[in-house]
Chains A and B, each alone.
Chain A
Amino acid sequence: MRIQLLSSLLFLLPASVLLAQEEGSVAFKVGTVLTMDGQEFSPGTVIVEHGRITAVGGGDLEIPFDVLLKEYPDATLFPGFSEAHTSSGLDRANENVPIAPFLNVKDSIDPVSFYFEDELRNGTTAIGVIPGNNCVIGGLGRVVAPAGMTVEAMTLDDAMGMKVAIGPKSGWSRSAQLAEMREAIGTLHKDLVRKGQDLLHKGKVIVDKEKADEADDEPEDDGDMWDLTGGFVRYGEDFPGKELISEEDVDVTQRGLVRLLNGEERLWLWCPTSTDVFHGRHWAEELGLLDQVVFVVTPSAWKAADILKSSGRPVALTGGLWHVENDPITWEEVRTFVPTILHEAGIPFSIASDKSRMGPDKLGYQAAVCVREGIPRATALAAVTTVPALLWGMEDRSGALKVGADGNFVLMDGDPLDIGAKVLQVWLRGVKAYDRESDERLQRMLEGRSR
């Protein structure tokens, strides 16, 4: 009997060790670890426990007994690419109302869209999805991972910020664009002043009623928690009753705008050209919101590099890397490689994949192009890893392999800037999200199978 018990215990022992290996805990010993935190280990080790990185180091790092070790001596491990700003993955980029601070991409992201599948396949681990630029105030974005069956499961951070467009909506002039913005803010102010007066009056009525009926000790409680939480409006000059206004008192279509003006939202300020950069900065300064701004620009904004620099704000470069214009008199082509301008001005910038025109659109390729045109390798890699994280305010969690960060990383068979290197695996929060070997669609294409 005892022998039987003992043997069954022995039998259970390895099983218990297996059980101890938690979901989201894994260790990798690989050929090279690019931490993007200023360090490179060859060989290197990364340990993830419960979805977070607990240690990064050389090949001699000790692995906790309950963490599954995986060894790929020829592979390179790095944090994966980050797409700072995109409207991909949404069914439509913009609603057809110009002022839409009440919209949220969480209602539009399609988790099973091929866009996300393809990004995962190409080693992207974080994507900032935000409404498009064809708006005045576009709505709220969020940072997602390209894996998961629901928007909630994909979400890495829901506080990416609000899209605000200074560059005109299609068919609009610049002046109409800015006038619409001022009008929306003016209307809001008028509504808030009226609401403040209403609340003061309501309060007075209650006080009068209390005086009239002194038997009532307590003011009438309608069970509404919002009545106790005034002070929702914190921007601008004071007006009577301002401190009484709670979130609920403001119309649902305007709450987002109040939050924006309060300075509670990061502003993704669409300034496609250099003149928009000037207007955008002026607008943000006027409202005291410059500290919240991320300038979303296209290459043609490079001429405002000094304005961008003196703003002290980072830049998300979209729509390609080159600016090309023809001299109107000589027809000579003038080509400007915009990342070089931004790098030399010392402006932190992210680059984007470019789906707008034919040709290569991968973040890795765009970074390789930067290196090709003379940008230091570290800066080029940062533009697709750490800078997007910085723009999202997620620098502690995303974009670099460091203790405390999310266990998101990509295993490649070469350098991330080598366009021939393949993505072998993608891990998100310590769980495998992609494996090249089981990528049926990719295999089908590689082998040339019709079905």
Chain B
Amino acid sequence: MIFTLLLLSIQNPVSVIAADRIHLGDGQVLGPAFITLENGKVKSIEEGTPPQGAIHIANAELTPGLVDAYSFLGVNIGGYTVDESRESGASQRLSETANLDHEAFQNAVRNGVTSAFLSPDSANVFGGLAAFVKTSGGDSAHVFQKAGTSARVLENAAALKITLGNDAANGNHSPWGRPFDYKTRRPTTRMGTVWEIRRQFYKALDYKKAKLQGDVETNADLEVMLQVLDGRLPLRVQARRSNDVQTALRLKEEFGFTRMVVEEGTEAWRARDLLAQAGVAVVTGPAYDDVTRSIATGPTLKELRALANPIPVCCEGLEDPTAAGDLTVEDLAAAGEHNDSQGDEHSHGHLDEHTVAISGLAQDLLLATTAPRYDAMLAGSSRNRRGEGDKATPAMPFLLHQAGVYCALGSAEAHDSALSEASLIHQARTAVRWGLDPSLALAMVTSQAAALCGQAGKLGVIAKGLDADLVLWSGDPLAGTSRPLLVIVEGQIAADFR
């Protein structure tokens, strides 16, 4: 009996917690107020002075537990979690293979994240079924826990993940020149990736027809795709480059996906009006506050072409007005265009003698030698971000919101390292620094994030009857000088830094 009591006291449930400001997650902020918890749920929210014995720390502010709308917590650490032997692993469940004991979850909890969307890795075109989990609780080592860590899984089919762009094709190769292995297959290009998606969904449509007509062998992968086609399951599309985002929108139109969310979307801001028109939401990946790392700031192809193909000497100071003053790269680009246009009245008959037409190869070489300097030096390049989706801006959440795109923030692999400061709350802070309204930024990591993960009205807000997932911050949660003092998951203290 004493032993049991001892263990229960270790569990340490919170009953009343008070704060000077309580952010409810949906934009509402209460003044000095307190929350009563019961059985892991919020029993009541009351304004005024808290009763005796309540947890109350001066200047502290309370928010809902943060919801990470796009993460790889426990996903790609120590071996594969999705099967890569075929391109369509639509029915694979990440919830069964993700390492829920991994310390990435502790790092997330420490930074105030109480629930997270786990996205399958981007190793194949159809990555499988995403999971939605609580980051704490369900300790398998705990004697009195009903279930193991699987108790943390709220949703084992939160969405179907598909991947556009380089990642899925990466590593695949043609049968020539290399030994035959399971990677000897299509797709090896962007086109091939889209082809694979289209092929599978048409297969699913045929399967549906066949099912209606009579007896047909059950195909788990195609069943999942049918759920997506029928709008019963959300579709997550990883698309970094702007043209990949546009491809996703074309696929939506073609197959009539009703619940599509663009994941990571490094360059989604460039297609923001199209996204808004199509009503497609975006979950962003981590933003970098370093401009050299977040935007490819170098010259455009046009400018490079102009630099490689400079204005002929005979033109300098004569016809060309820019030669007199300070030449800018833009001027050069304009001049380069002038050279290209053979039919232009200003072009000279002898131009070809002085200028070397830049061939495809020469252009590639030029780009290869000059591009690294301008390359977006993205950390976390293991996910192949380098060279894909290099035109990022930390202002993306603001730009998307401005254009009317529903948006949430994700941390991707930011919580993998115990040393990283790039946690989810930092993404929200960065978004504020880059123009987003603070209450919106908070919503993008709480209520809006929950909504995009199919948890609207269940998580991401503080409301009576909902799970008591709370974070007590030492000050304004969006200030760089604040830290979580207390992280509570379902009424239990998950991290205590008081």
Contact = CB atoms under 8 A, between A and B. Distances in A.
Given A114-B292, A114-B297, A446 B422 contact: no
A446 B435 CA distance: 8
A357 B420 contact: yes
Interface stretch (A140-148, A221-229, A413-421): A413-421
Contacts of B413: 358
16 contacts: A114-B292, A118-B292, A324-B419, A333-B103, A333-B418, A358-B380, A358-B413, A358-B414, A362-B290, A369-B480, A373-B483, A417-B481, A418-B480, A419-B479, A420-B479, A442-B291
Q: Is the interface of B mostly helix, strand, loop or mixed?
A: loop
B360 to A, nearest CB: 23
Contacts of A368: 479-481
Contact of A359 (B391, B418, B421): B421
B27 to A, nearest CB: 18
A372 B391 CA distance: 32
Nearest to A446: B395
B200 to A, nearest CB: 32
Contacts of B295: 441, 445
A121 B474 contact: no
Nearest to B429: A419
A420 B437 CA distance: 11
Given A333-B418, A360-B289, A372 B393 contact: no
A335 B292 CA distance: 31
9 nearest interchain CB pairs?
A: A359-B422, A368-B480, A419-B480, A358-B379, A448-B399, A445-B393, A114-B292, A324-B418, A359-B421
Contacts of A322: 418-419
Given A324-B419, A448-B402, 14 more contacts: A333-B103, A333-B106, A357-B379, A358-B380, A358-B417, A360-B289, A360-B421, A360-B426, A419-B429, A419-B479, A420-B433, A445-B294, A445-B393, A446-B434
B187 interface: no
B105 interface: no
Nearest to A324: B418
B108 to A, nearest CB: 14
A359 B480 contact: no
Contacts of A362: 289-290
Interface residues of B, number: 48
Interface of A: 113-115, 117-118, 121, 320, 322, 324, 333, 335, 354-355, 357-362, 364-365, 368-369, 371-373, 417-420, 422, 441-442, 445-446, 448, 450-451
A22 B21 CA distance: 52
Contacts of A448: 269-270, 272, 393, 395-396, 399, 402
Nearest to B418: A324
A441 B329 CA distance: 14
A358 B380 CA distance: 6
Contact of B291 (A114, A418, A419): A114
Contacts of B433: 419-420, 422
Contacts, number: 108
Interface in B132-169: none
A396 B426 CA distance: 36
Contacts of B120: none
Contacts of A355: 290
A446 B394 CA distance: 8
A445 to B, nearest CB: 4
B260 interface: no
A441 B299 CA distance: 12
B465 to A, nearest CB: 34
A445 B481 contact: no
Interface string B284-328: 001011111011010010000000000000000000000000000
Given A115-B292, A320-B419, A450-B270, A359 B395 contact: no
B432 interface: yes
A441 B272 contact: no
B97 interface: no
Contacts of B399: 448
A335 B289 CA distance: 25
B419 A441 contact: no
A11 B392 CA distance: 53
A126 B367 CA distance: 33
Contacts of A422: 433
A118 B374 CA distance: 13
A451 B300 CA distance: 9
Contacts of B482: 372
Nearest to B474: A372
Contacts of A372: 474, 480-483
A361 B289 contact: yes
Interface in B435-480: 435, 474, 478-480
